[in-house]
Structure 1
Amino acid sequence: MKLKKTITATLLGLGLMTAISTSPAFAAEKLPAFTDNKQMVEYFWNEVFNKHNTAVIDEMTAHNYIQHNPGFADGRQSFEDGIEGFLKEFPRSKAVIKHIGSDGDLVFIHNHITLNDADRGQAAVDIFRVKDGKIVEHWDVIQDIPATSANNNTMF
């Protein structure tokens, strides 16, 4: 369980900073035109965590980004290095957005993280600050999805 939490914290705590793939399948493409921060972060999230397309990292994140997850250092390179190993170890991982909202320069994503199809997963909220069209800062809170609940509500 501790390893699972550490791995999941790696996934989200990386503040979405990932290693740049050299595979031609992930060649950088021209980014779409975004109308707002929410649309930009949603695109980034899905490319990285659901399509595992890490080529978007350089164009969409600030080099000196600030990380509030205590397990990781500030700066893009620290996170690029960490997520590369995660995606190799868990190639079937995904983080499906259940809710998304924004307030000014902040974007909030409530998501369901799974490491593979059999994983019950975790519920997480990630918060991103965007400045000048780049992700510059990240916070997260993560909790396991239990086998049983004291109520009939889901975590989403």
Structure 2
Amino acid sequence: MDAKSRVVAGVLALTGGDTDSALDTYYAPAFVQHSPMCADGRDGLRELTEKAKSVGARYDLLRSIGEGDMVLLHARVTGLAPVPLILFNLYRFADGRVAEHWEAVAPETGPTACGHDMGDGPSEITDRDRTAANKDTIRRLVQDVLIDGEPAALDEFFDGDHLIRHAPSAADGTASLRESLASVQYLTLHRTVAEGNFVFAQSEGVRDGRPHVFADLFRLADGKVVEHWDVRTEIPEQMPHDNGIV
């Protein structure tokens, strides 16, 4: 079983089965937590999981991508908060266990101006032979355009104004994306994970004057970005652990 299959199995076992058995089977004893919602280690994960189960929360996996030892799960959780939550969960897999976890989460609002929600759209992995090229495209998009501030180069990465967007209240198209980017400042690209036509980027920056983690998932076709999902999570002043959020 590859890393992605093992991570997916571990998450589904944790959310839908016996908590202690899932933790012992799938999660490393020295599990490292970066989520702003959860204390460190398996004990913190156990506490959050039991809380979620006690209120009848439901976990729905929307899409998954894996590259080497890194796995990205895009999911919706209902019942844990007054409104559904959209999550980007990034995992590091090592020695047969889930070893580390990062998370970006936001309440689901919408629909967008074009009728999309924050989680709908394609999930099938295609074009695996283009994984490396697509990953490089997104790395350049985030680094050269979003971080280094070359907005004139934005059009290079898109097929005209054809772009499906899933950000709350956003309209489709690159013109709308350009307007949205004016309110955020990307500072650091931390990690990218790619599989075929999907590429995930975890970045850090500023929104409304406050530090945030930016989670961006892109779908590409023929080397161009055609769809975009994202979550912006404010970095709290105090975390439930000492591992940082990124």
TM-score range (shorter-chain normalised) is: 0.5 to 0.7
Q: Does 1:131 align with 2:128?
A: no
**Which residue in 2 is equivalent to 1:144?**
107
Q: Who wins on radius of gyration, i.e. which is larger?
A: 2
Cα deviation for residue 94 of structure 1 reads: 1.2
Counterpart amino acid of 2:34?
Answer: H
What TM-score, normalized to structure 2?
0.44
Task: Tell which has more relative contact order, 1 or 2 (C-alpha 8 A, sep 6+).
Answer: 1
Q: Percent identity?
A: 23
Partner of 1:44: 10
Corresponding pairs, count = 117
Hey, which of these two has a bigger chunk of strand by percent? 2
Cα deviation for residue 148 of structure 1 reads 4.2
State how far apart, in whole Å, the 1-side matches of 2:110 and 2:17 are.
28
Q: Any gaps of 5 or more consecutive residues in structure 2?
A: 120-246
- What per-residue deviation string (whole Å, max 9, x for no partner) do you get for residues 83-110 of structure 1? 323322x12x111111001011011000
Alpha-carbon separation, structure 2, partners of 1:113 and 1:42 = 15
| Alignment-derived partner of residue 84 in structure 1 | 50
Q: CA deviation at 1:151?
A: 3.0
Residue 85 and residue 124 in structure 1: after superposition, are their counterparts in 2 closer, same or farther (change >3 A)?
closer
| Contact 2:109 2:118 survives alignment (8 Å) | no
1:96 partner amino acid: D
Q: Name the CA distance, whole Å, in 2 between partners of 1:125 and 1:147.
A: 18
TM (norm. structure 1) is 0.67
In structure 1, give the amino acid aligned to 2:23. I
CA contact (8 A) 1:64 1:74 kept: no
Please tell me whether the aligned partners of residues 92 and 98 of structure 2 are also in contact (alpha carbons under 8 angstroms). Answer: yes
Query: RMSD between aligned alpha carbons?
Result: 1.9
Structural mapping, 1:17-96, within 5 Å: 35-49=1-15, 51-54=16-19, 55-88=21-54, 90-91=55-56, 93-96=57-60
Tell me the secondary structure at the aligned position of residue 73 of structure 1.
Answer: coil
Matched residue, 1:108: 72
CA displacement, residues 2-41 of structure 1 (integer Å, 9 cap, x when unaligned): xxxxxxxxxxxxxxxxxxxxxxxxxxxxxxxxx2011111
Distance 1:62 1:103 in 2: 19
SS at match of 1:62: strand
| SS of residue in 2 equivalent to 1:64 | strand
Structure 1: state its 5+ residue gaps.
1-34
Counterpart contact for 1:52–1:87, Cα < 8 Å: no
